[in-house]
Structure 1
Amino acid sequence: MFKTCIIFYLTHFLNLFGHFYCSDLNKLEGLEKFDKMRVNERNFQLVRNIHANWFATGLKALMGSLGRTLYQKLSKEEQKQLADCLYRVEDKMDLVLAANCLVNARRRHFARIITDQVDNNYKMR
């Protein structure tokens, strides 16, 4: 797999730069097409915005996966509390409030489990 990737990138590099003449480095033909790809302030802001959106989308996907797994383990009352908390988040891009809802639901769930285990231990005595 690694050799395949190296070969792919090497052939891609040669396709891009193979037509340049090494003897005449001051006058490389074909570099004009790269001038269009230069980063200016407008392009930088667009790329930065795209990156931020991808990052937020990735975090939301991870939180959604964790939330789904947690939701299935919760009791009906805890499920309702989690759903109510998430419903109160007005800005759907606000990852902090949604993460707080998940963390608090998880803490309540484990606190209930520990309490149930302690109660069961006392009943067994």
Structure 2
Amino acid sequence: MKEGAQLRQAETGNRYDVFHTDCPARDVVDHVTSKWGVWVLISLRSNDLRFYELRDSIQGISEKMLAQTLRGLVEDGLVRREVEPTTPPQVTYGLTEFGQDIGEPLTDLFDRITQRMSLPGAGPTELPARTG
């Protein structure tokens, strides 16, 4: 098996070896788990949004960071970018099928965290003891 800049796949089949520095899947994981990548995927889970709608839905993100994050997620095939030929052009972003697959567990994680948290400033709620 070739190493280096070539795609290095795990010995157990067609899966990529994400622990190898040249693995292309590693870039996708980096984009998804970046500070803003998770929020973009969660924001697009329900419907397509225009750039400014997306920016407004994610408090604290700058236009520059949103543009960079979207560029990476579009290149990875997680987000689709649709340009309407109007003046000025209207750009809409939405999740691809791959983005929906990746966004689903992120949404589940987000929902679990927010369900377990108490009111802001009070810290996490007391978790019930596990049985069985």
Please tell me the TM-score bracket, short chain as reference: under 0.3
Structure label with greater radius of gyration: 1
> Structure 1 or 2: larger helix share?
1
> Structure 1 or 2: larger strand share?
2
TM-score (norm 1): 0.26
